[in-house]
Each structure stands twice: as structure tokens, then as C-alpha cells.
Amino acid sequence: KGDVQDFGIQESLSELEQLADTAGLRVVGSTYQKLASPNPKTYIGSGKVSEIKSAIHALDVETVIFDDELSAGQLRNLEKVFGGDVRVCDRTALILDIFNQRAATHEASLQVSLAQMEYQLPRLTKMWTHLERQSGGKVKGMGEKQIEVDKRILRNQIGVLKKELESVRKHRKQYRNRRLSVPVPVVSLVGYTNAGKSTLLNQLSGADVLAEDKLFATLDPTTRRVQMENGKEFLLTDTVGFIQKLPTTLVAAFRATLEEISESSLLVHVVDISHPMAEQQINAVDKVLSELDVSSIPRLIVWNKVDKTSDPQKIRLQAEERDVVYISALSGDGLSEFCNAVNDKLKDSMVWVEALVP
């Protein structure tokens, strides 16, 4: 569909495969179809539906994942056609599943549960209309009533969750205010998921933050103190990884977490320069940042995984031309240059802060 302007269809699908892998699924195949507009009933055309149905039987498929968000009706129709126990889901549901598996703090779990419920609310019809059909229409109307009851229960749960989140956030804010009262600059790592943010944080601080070759290894912001060779210190914060087509419910859910970024002295944008889609990933990150109102915060761009590129020398020259720092977070190459660059940028921003103080 149209909203993959930057990422090609193949790239978006291969990212979806990686997401499925992260969720613990084994991918047996993928396919796509070009349509002028999605089919309102089944998203794809009827020929494609039959083709997938045959593949489901031939390969004993348990789950079919669509790269775009499906409506409640489309989900229901597709599950009906595919039959049996085949589960149909979309990119959003898959990402929500992954976030659910990986939420490490109480706040992150609350945020994910809330996003999941908000995703479910308009899709609740499914189970009860199934029941109606099975009963041959005898319980007609019953289903609808039940949907209303379920929706009310879900809305209540959403309300309870929101209250709980509010109190957790208040707590965190107090903690953050205490932290901010200590005059140590806060540096936030931002970047596309899997760019190497956790690895960099680990290398610099000796912290043992989960770093894995999976999408979204990092969900919760983690802050560590880093001491530079000149004795100065800064706080380094790792944030949630960004991704294209991040479900809007999730962006909203994680807004509070992302807002911490707006209180930092410096943003370090970590880029996996060895990735074939590096440029598009940079754009995806810039897009989220532009929504966060952080344009006044100085930025430092870091090209990571230089060791993985086919021509590291060329990358180094390009980086020097563009005033970009190049590192290998994994091997530790370039880390002292990185710290010097952070120091320089912080010096600039400190001058700016001092200028404001009478």
C-alpha cells in the first residue's frame, strides 16, 4: 500500500520477517500484491486469498501476518476463509506482542497493556459474531448485547490502567526532578531499532543492558553515568528504538517515555551505517523526532558498525567530510573520539545555558 514510500515493499516485508522472528515465529514465506486500493473485505484480492490458502495447507501455516493495519471486518473475513486455527494478524498486533514480551518495567507493561486494549476495542466484534453464526442465528442480538458488555468492561479496564499509569509517571517525574537537580548533563541516545544504542551504552558505562540482534531489544529508558577521560561526567540515556510504521497507539503510549528526550542537553543519533536502508532509517527517526519538539537540542550523529561495512576507509572519509563521528560500539573503536565530540557539543550547549543565567 501507499505508505511505504521510503521503504520499498521488499524492505518493509523483510523488516516484517525480522519482527516475526523477534516475536519467536518461524517465517516460511512471504508474498505481496499491487492493487489500486485495498479490498475492503479482505484487504487483498480473491485470487491472492486462494493462493495464500493453498500455501497455508501445503506448508502447515499457523499464522498469517499482514504488513498494514487490518480492519475488524478484514481480520474476521480472512480468518473465516483461511479456516481452522489459522491466526490472522497485522504489523500493529505483532509489534504490540513484541512490546508485551519485552516490557521490563512496570510502566512499560502498563503502557503496552493500554495500547493493546485500545487496539482491541474496535475489533471486539469478532468472537461474538462467530457465536451468532454457529448458533444458526438463534442467539441473534445476543452477540450485539455481549459486544456492548465487553466494550464497557474493556473501557473500564482502560480507565483503571490510565489512572495507574498516571501515578507511576508522577513518581518517575519526582525521581527525574531529583536527578535534574544534580548538575550533570543528560545525553540521550536515539536511533532506529537495532542501530547499536544498548551496545554503545554498555561499552561506555560497563552497564549490562540487554543487547541483542533483535528488533526492540530496548523498551525502557535506561540511564547510566559515564566518566570521560578528562574527569567530567554525563548521564547517558538509552531510549526506545524507532521503526517505520510504528503503530500510532504505541507512539502515543510511549510519548511520555520519549518526552524525556526533550529534557536532555544533547541527542546522539546512532545510525547502523552498515545497513542497506540506513538513509531511510535516518529519515524515519528524524520524522519521530520532529514530532517531539526537540529541534532546539544539539545533535550529534554517530555512524556505528563501521567494522561491518565493506569499505570502512571510505566510510571514514565520508564521515569526516560531514562532521559525523564513526565508531564500532562492538569493538570499542572510536569511543574516545566519540566522548570528545560529546564534550565539544556539551560545551556549546553549556555556554548557551550560562548565557541564560543572569
**Which residues make up the interface to ligand GDP (CB under 6 A)?**
191, 193-199, 211-213, 217-218, 241, 304-305, 307-308, 328-330
Q: Alpha-carbon distance 142 to 133, whole Å?
A: 11
If one counts every other C-beta atom within 10 angstroms of the C-beta of residue 236, the result is 25
* Closer of 77 and 304 to ligand GDP (Cβ): 304
* Closer of 38 and 191 to ligand GDP (Cβ): 191
DSSP state of 222: E
Angstrom distances, CA of residue 308 to CA of 84, 133, 169, 305, 332: 44, 56, 40, 5, 13
DSSP 92-131: HHHHHHHHHHH--SHHHHHHHHHHHHHHHGGGTHHHHHHH
Strand partners, 233: 227
- Please state the closest distance from residue 186 (CB atom) to ligand GDP, in A: 18
* Closer of 198 and 249 to ligand GDP (Cβ): 198
- Please state the closest distance from residue 330 (CB atom) to ligand GDP, in A: 3
3-state secondary structure of 325: strand
* Closer of 212 and 344 to ligand GDP (Cβ): 212
- Please state the closest distance from residue 15 (CB atom) to ligand GDP, in A: 13
- Please state the closest distance from residue 224 (CB atom) to ligand GDP, in A: 13
- Please state the closest distance from residue 333 (CB atom) to ligand GDP, in A: 8
If one counts every other C-beta atom within 10 angstroms of the C-beta of residue 42, the result is 18
* Closer of 18 and 39 to ligand GDP (Cβ): 18
